[in-house]
Structure 1
Amino acid sequence: MERGHIAATQALHPGALAGAAPAERVAVVADDDEFFRIALAAILIRDCAIARVIQTGSFEAAMAAIGDEDHVTIALFDLNMPGMSGPALLHHLRETCGHVAKVAVVSASRRREDILETLSSGAHGYMCKASGVQELSQALGQILDGRIYVPRLLADIGPEIAAATERDRAAKPAVAPAPAPAPAVSPRQSRVLEMLVHGKSNKEIARELNLGAGTVKVHMAALFSKLGVANRSAAAVAGTRLLGV
């Protein structure tokens, strides 16, 4: 399956054949590992009463899918996939997409820094891909019940190990940071940013680009994160430099 492709998995509910319309619980799973996406979708449908799972292979495709939905019960992201620059993106998602009830990470990374940064971003949990099916199911259940899921491995990183890690980091010779590369934005994000620079409102951008209001919001969230800004004014300034307009 190509990166960025969107697929959906549908659960067959009792009564569906008789024309019943159960209240739909929708999940978005964003991961460029197709087999893991399929497995996670199966767990969500079987164990978590999720009716429909939208599967995407990139952060941008996930944002587009979220923008097309009126409500998303839970959105799950891998930290290492196309378009995912780090947990900070989740903070912007939480701020701009109020129709997404729960946001969490399922990642192969077991780094303490990744876990803490993810939870600090406002995510509702961090799950490791190495976890078994039962542990993943229980973690998802906790998140959907309104609790924050913290992986057990975080408790295994004791203060002595954490202190040793800090000492090792401090002992390394200081290296001057390389100049930050210009943020990579997609053609669609570039067009949205250009219109923002020219003072267009979200409603005007949506109308001119024939996009939904939710889709414009998620593009804005991605742009804020990539530009390292927190509001439209700062984004306009950064966009002027980036686009040369």
Structure 2
Amino acid sequence: MRVLIVDDHPVVRSGLRALLETDPGLEVVGEAGSGEQALALAPRLAPGVVLMDLRLGEGIDGVTATERLRAAADPPAVMILTTYDHDADIVRAVEAGAAGYLVKDAAPQVILDAVHAAARGETVLAPALVHRLMTRMRRPGPRITDRELEVLRLVAQGRANRAIAKELFISEATVKTHLAHAFDKLGVDNRTGAVAALREQGLLGP
């Protein structure tokens, strides 16, 4: 099985290559340090599985790269292997077409087995992540709108309501309304709590 490794850290790529090459059934055909590079290499290298990091520095992230790879005529399976295990990240990756999602502290054999499973068309999620996702799906909370998230991202940067209103070309009253709705959905009563809740869900980045 041909494997393409995508990670923005050279040391991680080297470690993954060394691990994958211990399995005689796997062949590492290339490495990419960015999502753009992965998209450029995949058509030429024709991997069966792409081992993809989620956050790739500047440029497109692992979810976007996954979505574009999976949209190809003969798409490879994409296995997410990342440091982050936020619920929102997992959901985004699965929705983009990822065959599985593991965190980098997974045991070496678990990673090898996951690559083989992805190649067979199976879905691979760590048991703990499956439990969390099922709980989330059974008890979905109110969805934060894109505009509310945009406002809260500016709040996380320390912006006051007036500055947020000016940047988004809306009134301060509208900013306050968005914040009030977001607080209610997140079950918090202040800006700090809202930002903390979104960070916990992986919606504001690390």
Give the shorter-chain TM-score range: 0.5 to 0.7
Residue 115 in 1 paired to residue 86 in 2?
A: no
Question: In the alignment, which residue of structure 1 is the partner of 2:51?
Answer: 76
On the 8 A contact 1:79/1:106 being kept in 2, the answer is yes
Report the count of equivalent residues: 149
Residue 105 in 1 paired to residue 88 in 2?
A: no
Residue 30 in 1 paired to residue 6 in 2?
A: yes
Which amino acid letter does the alignment assign opposite residue 32 of structure 1? D
Q: Is the partner of 2:129 in helix, strand or coil?
A: helix
Distance 1:117 1:161 in 2: 13
Q: How does 1:20-169 map to 2 (within 5 A)?
A: 25-47=1-23, 49-69=25-45, 71-82=46-57, 83-85=59-61, 87-98=63-74, 100-157=75-132, 159=135, 163=139, 166=141
Shift of 1:108: 0.7
Q: Percent same amino acid at aligned positions?
A: 22
Unpaired stretches in structure 1, ≥5 consecutive residues: 1-24, 181-245
1:11-48 Cα deviation digits (max 9, x unpaired):
xxxxxxxxxxxxxx422111012222112222322226
Which amino acid letter does the alignment assign opposite residue 104 of structure 1? M
Distance 2:20 2:76 in 1: 15
1:184-204 Cα deviation digits (max 9, x unpaired):
xxxxxxxxxxxxxxxxxxxxx
Unpaired stretches in structure 2, ≥5 consecutive residues: 155-166, 169-206
Question: In the alignment, which residue of structure 1 is the partner of 2:199?
Answer: none
Judged with a 3 Å threshold, the aligned counterparts in structure 2 of structure 1 residues 67 and 141 are, in CA distance, closer, same or farther, namely closer
Which amino acid letter does the alignment assign opposite residue 29 of structure 2? V
Question: In the alignment, which residue of structure 2 is the partner of 1:15?
Answer: none
Distance 1:175 1:139 in 2: 34
Distance 1:86 1:26 in 2: 19
Judged with a 3 Å threshold, the aligned counterparts in structure 2 of structure 1 residues 48 and 107 are, in CA distance, closer, same or farther, namely farther
Which amino acid letter does the alignment assign opposite residue 153 of structure 1? A
With normalisation by structure 1, the TM-score equals 0.52
Distance 2:7 2:114 in 1: 18
Considering Cα pairs closer than 8 Å and 6+ residues apart, tell me whether 1 or 2 has the greater RCO.
1
Distance 1:148 1:54 in 2: 23
Which amino acid letter does the alignment assign opposite residue 58 of structure 1? S
Which amino acid letter does the alignment assign opposite residue 33 of structure 1? H
Where in structure 1 do 4 or more consecutive aligned residues deviate above 4 Å? 160-163
Which amino acid letter does the alignment assign opposite residue 113 of structure 1? A
Distance 1:121 1:176 in 2: 22
Judged with a 3 Å threshold, the aligned counterparts in structure 2 of structure 1 residues 175 and 151 are, in CA distance, closer, same or farther, namely closer
With normalisation by structure 2, the TM-score equals 0.61
Shift of 1:59: 1.1
